[in-house]
Amino acid sequence: MNTRFAIRTILILVTIAAVVAAFFAARHLPARQDDNSAVNRFYWHDYSNGVAKQRRESGWEYQGKINGLGSCVVLHHSNSEHEKYGQHGGYAVAFQLPLDVVEGDQLTLLPIPATRSGELHPHDRRFTLMLPNEFTATTFGDHFGSITAGSDIRESSVAVKKMTNEHVILHVQIDVSIPEYYDLKLDRDFTIRRVPSDDA
C-alpha cells in the first residue's frame, strides 16, 4: 500500500514539474516568427525632401531623403511569405508634401516627369529632388517595377485627416499601372508615425 502511494506521489510530482518547466520554457523562449506576417514601415519625415533615382524607361523610384523644406512620406509594405513563394510581395510609395500642409488638405499627386534630366552621378545613375505633390510607386516580390512614362495614372491623391505631433492619419488613393504585369491600388487610411528632422 505504501509503495503504491509513493509511486503515485512521484508521478504527480514529476507531472507537476514537467508542466512548470514547459510553462517557463514557453515564456522565455523566443516566439516563433509568423512567415505570413506583413511588415509595414509607414513614416512621415518632417523637414525633409525625398530623393528619387531614375530607372529604365524614364521611370523614377524613391531612393531616400535629405533635410529640406517639406515633408517626405514613405509607405513601405512587404510580405515575406509572398516573396518566398514568388508572389506579388509588396509596394513602396513615397510622396513629397509642402511644408505648410494642414489637417483637412486634399492634394493631387503627380509622378515625377519622365522628361526631367536630374543630376548625373557615378555609374550613370540620375537623381532628382522630389517637388511638392510628386510621388513614386514601386512593386516588388517576384516582379520589381516602378511607374514609368508609359504608366496609366488612374488615381493619385492624399487627404490629411488628422495631424498630431506624433502621428498623422492620411487617406491615400493610388491606382497606377506598373509595367509589365501589376497594378498598384490603394484606397485606405494610413496612421503614420512622424519622424522629427533630427531623427531622420
- Output the pTM of the full model: 0.74
Burial, 166: exposed, middle or buried (Cβ in 10 Å; 0-12, 13-18, 19+)?
Answer: exposed
Q: Which residues fall within 8 angstroms of residue 11, CB to CB, at 6 or more apart?
A: none
What cell numbers appear for 155 in the block?
A: 488615381
C-alpha span between 61 and 59 (Å, rounded)? 7
* pLDDT for the residue numbered 175: 95
Query: According to the model, what pLDDT value does residue 200 have?
Result: 43
pLDDT at 2: 63
Residues facing residue 182 across a β-bridge:
178
What is the structure's pLDDT at 196? 82
Residue 75 per-residue DSSP state:
E
DSSP-based three-state secondary structure for 4 = helix
The pLDDT value recorded for residue 42 is 95
- Tens-level pLDDT at each residue, the chain (200 residues): 566 655 666 656 556 655 555 554 444 443 343 444 678 999 999 999 999 998 766 789 999 999 999 999 999 998 765 544 444 568 999 999 999 999 999 999 999 998 888 888 776 678 999 999 999 998 887 667 888 888 999 999 999 999 999 999 999 999 999 877 678 999 999 999 998 875 44
